[in-house]
A and B are shown apart, each in its own frame.
Chain A
Amino acid sequence: MKFTIYQESRIGTRQINQDRVAYCYSRDALLLVIADGMGGHAHGEMAAQIATNHITTLFQREARPHLPDPMFFLSVAIEGAHSEICAESERQGLPENPRTTCVVCVVQNGVAYWAHVGDSRLYLVRDGKILSQTRDHSLVQTLVDSGSLTMEQARRHPSRNRIFSCLGGQQEPQIDFSRKTPLVDGDILILCTDGVWGPLEDDLCPQIAYTNVLNSVPRLLNEAEQRAGKSSDNLSIIAINWEEDEEGELICYSDMPTMPMDVYTMPPQGGQQNANASLSDNEIEEAIEEIRNSIKQNLPIRN
Chain B
Amino acid sequence: MPEGQFKEGIAGGRLAADQYADNFSDLHPPLDHHEALVESDRCYFCYDAPCMNACPTSIDIPLFIRQISTGNPIGSAKTIFDQNILGGMCARVCPTETLCEEVCVREVAEGKPVQIGRLQRYATDVAMSENKQFYQRATATGKTVAVVGAGPAGLAAAHRLARHGHDVTILEARPKAGGLNEYGIAAYKSVDNFAQAEVDYVTAIGGIDIQNGKALGRDYQLSDLIRNYDAVFLGMGLGGVNALRADGEDADGVTNAVEFIAELRQASDLASLPVGRRVVVIGGGMTAIDAAVQSKLLGAEEVTICYRRGHEQMNASGFEQDLAAANGVTIRHWLQPKRVIAEGGKVSAIELEYTAMDGDRLAGTGERLTLVADQVFKAIGQSFVPAALNGSGAEIELEAGRIKVDAEGRTSLAKVWAGGDCIFGGDDLTVSAVAQGRDAAESIHRSLAQG
Q: Do A and B come from one complex?
A: no
